[in-house]
Amino acid sequence: MTTTTQTSTRAINSLAGEADALLISLGVKRSRYTGGKLIARSPITGEITGHVNEIGAADAQAAIDKAHAAFLEWRLVPAPKRGELVRLLGEELRANKQALGRLVSIEAGKIASEGLGEVQEMIDICDFAVGLSRQLYGLTIATERSDHRMMESWHPLGVTGIISAFNFPVAVWSWNAALALICGNSIVWKPSEKTPLTALATEALFDRALARFKAEGGKAPDALSTVLFGGREIGEILVDHAKVPLVSATGSTAMGRIVGPRLAKRFARAILELGGNNAAIVAPTADLDLTLRGVAFAAMGTAGQRCTTLRRLFVHESVYDTFVPRLKRAYESVTIGDPLKDGTLVGPLIDAAAFASMQKALSEARAAGAKVFGGERVFADGADEAYYVRPALVEISEQTGPVVHETFAPILYVIKYRDFNAVLDLHNAVPQGLSSSIFTNDLREAEAFLSARGSDCGIANVNIGPSGAEIGGAFGGEKETGGGRESGSDAWKAYMRRATNTINFGRTLPLAQGVKFDVA
């Protein structure tokens, strides 16, 4: 393969200097990212961009206690007023979209449009949450008793813990934070150790919005939003703290297996966004031009480091020999390199561990008899500590070995199929259940794919790829993906507690189910 590659000629410390300038412009004090033990490193060159101060265990406990005290105040603020704070946060994000988007690209290695797109997601969820702040509806319920009214009401839940991953370093925070805030909760965030600078920037923008909210007469406690920088120990404190009734955790299925039981042990709620071994089916009637674009972005975008990345592709035998060669040519022509340069479509993997995981999966695929196209490292000038790879297209005859496991890298396994019902079974025969697609112009196939016997994923699409969800729909998946839902639809209910209320406005006391209990 002859994938076009850009090499980096950036001077030493140039990214550190740019990150510094961006952080200052976003309102972050230099002392927050100098002199600390948590190293921030850009995957673009491998260069160190900051040293962030970590928090100790005792201070983390104290911060959560303060967040709980803040919740006790914030829950009393009317929801539409809470929405005003989120509106101001959206304004700060709009005004600083370019700077924060650029910082996302530097720290997570995303191409420029994806860095900006992540900030746009933050803006979108703020808009969604502001409207929602006037729509936290309960139900009026029919009652069997005369002169009674029954209804449900929704109340703030408490401190919302957020544990986020490197691949969407700020958007995942916003999905949870915007809804938690309008629902009356305070928030405590443990960002990924791999992306602390974007968390500092987000914290600074929230503080600006909070200052404006107070200046305009709003009432809000200071510890409404807290960021905890640290490793696993800090995450465990957040998961185990009795004053955190809800934790939204994004990461691997292995992480979820630890977090879920620990939360269940103390009867806390979990929103788990875990692994995704996402698949697409290319049917005989598929529009192959449209399909090519959908598959290419879903499989190679963000260097394969999205939870919704396309990892398995089932292609019908009647179009396989036409479509797969075209897909290979797309893989050969995609531009790999510095994500900050115009024209780049595939940036770096996050670190050496991601590269090693990718190579291990490809080795296993070869051992299973697969044909592997691409997958090797591309060395950029002056960036030996950066890990750029050619996206890998792997033709394999069976869904076996590494195919059933999620590898967080740009590997697309391509399998030929003949029978539609059989391929539906293959599609669903993996432990994960996040996102899925079918490319078809056959109405029956499309509807079957969306039906109860079709895709078992939380997201099922027709004629678009599995990657790139919108804010309006609830995001999340089934099985080992964790079952959590964030963002749109009625996901707000996870951040609140429900009460069923019955009011007797009569002068008698009829009991439900006809029970009689008369006393003198």
Q: Let me know if residue 66 belongs to a domain.
A: yes
Is the residue at 37 inside a domain?
A: no
Half-sphere exposure of 427 toward its Cβ, with a 13 Å CA cutoff?
Answer: 29
Longest CA pairwise span in the chain (Å): 93
229 and 289 both lie in a single domain: no
Q: Is 511 a member of any domain?
A: no
For 497, half-sphere exposure in the C-beta direction (CA atoms, 13 angstrom radius) is: 14
Q: What is the CATH number of the domain that holds 317?
A: 3.40.309.10
CA distance 49 to 198: 11
Together in a domain, 297 and 445 = yes
Say if 36 falls within a structural domain: no
The enclosing domain of 190 has a CATH number of 3.40.605.10
Sign of CA dihedral 109, 50, 203, 268: positive
Q: Are residues 212 and 296 in the same domain?
A: no
**Secondary structure in 3-state letters for 157-180:** CCCEEEECCCCCCCHHHHHHHHHH
302 and 261 in one domain? Answer: no
336 plus 255 within the same structural domain: no
Residue 382 falls in which region: left (phi positive, over 0), alpha (psi -120 to 50) or beta: left
Residue 21 lies in a domain: no
Q: Establish if 49 belongs to a structural domain.
A: no
Does residue 12 lie within any of the structural domains?
Answer: no
Domain extent, residue 317, equals: 278-471
- Overall residue count recorded for the chain in this entry: 520
Distance of CA 34 to the CA centre of its chain: 28
Token pair of 158 as six digits:
């408490």
pLDDT of residue 380: 59
Same domain for 295 and 247: no
Token pair belonging to 106: 């530097």
Backbone φ and ψ of 183, nearest 5°: -80, -5
- Pairing verdict, β 310-316 and 377-378: unpaired
Domain count, the chain: 2
Do 161 and 203 belong together in one domain? Answer: yes
User: Are the C-beta atoms of residues 384 and 401 closer than 8 Å to each other?
Assistant: no
Same-domain status, 408 and 463: yes
pLDDT at 108: 98
Yes or no: say if 158 and 106 are a contact pair by the CB < 8 Å rule: no
131 alpha carbon, distance to own chain's centre: 22
Per the annotation, the verdict on 332 as an active-site residue is: no
> CA-to-CA distance for 30 and 169, rounded, in angstroms?
20
- Are 348 and 384 members of one domain? yes
Three-class HEC string of 193-241: CCCHHHHHHHHHHHHHHHHHHHHCCCCCCHHHEEECCCCHHHHHHHHHC
Among candidate residues 66, 57, 68, the one with its CA nearest the CA of residue 243 = 68
Answer yes or no: is 514 within a domain. Answer: no
Residues 307 and 268 in one domain: no
pTM for this structure?
0.95
Whole-number Å distance between alpha carbons of 454 and 367 = 31
Q: What is the full per-residue pLDDT of the chain (520 aa) written as tens digits?
A: 444 555 444 433 489 999 999 999 999 999 999 999 999 999 999 999 999 999 999 999 999 999 999 999 999 999 999 999 999 999 999 999 999 999 999 999 999 999 999 999 999 999 999 999 999 999 999 999 999 999 999 999 999 999 999 999 999 999 999 999 999 999 999 999 999 999 999 999 999 999 999 999 999 999 999 999 999 999 999 999 999 999 999 999 999 999 999 999 999 999 999 999 999 999 999 999 999 999 999 999 999 999 999 999 999 999 999 999 999 999 999 999 999 999 999 999 999 999 999 999 999 999 999 999 999 999 756 678 899 999 999 999 999 999 999 999 999 999 999 999 999 999 999 999 999 999 999 999 999 999 999 999 999 999 999 998 899 999 999 999 999 999 988 999 999 999 999 999 999 999 999 999 999 8
Q: Judging by DSSP bridges, how do beta strands 411-417 and 310-316 pair with one another?
A: parallel
Instruction: Specify the pLDDT at position 383.
Output: 74
Q: Are both 90 and 173 inside the same structural domain?
A: yes
Domain identity same for 423 and 307? yes
Backbone φ/ψ region at 440: left (φ over 0), alpha (ψ -120 to 50), beta = beta
Distance between CA 121 and CA 308 in Å, rounded?
15
Separation CA 513–CA 503 (nearest Å): 17
Distance CA 5, CA 520 (A): 90
3-state SS, residue 519? coil
Active-site residue identified among 193, 273, 395, 445 = 273
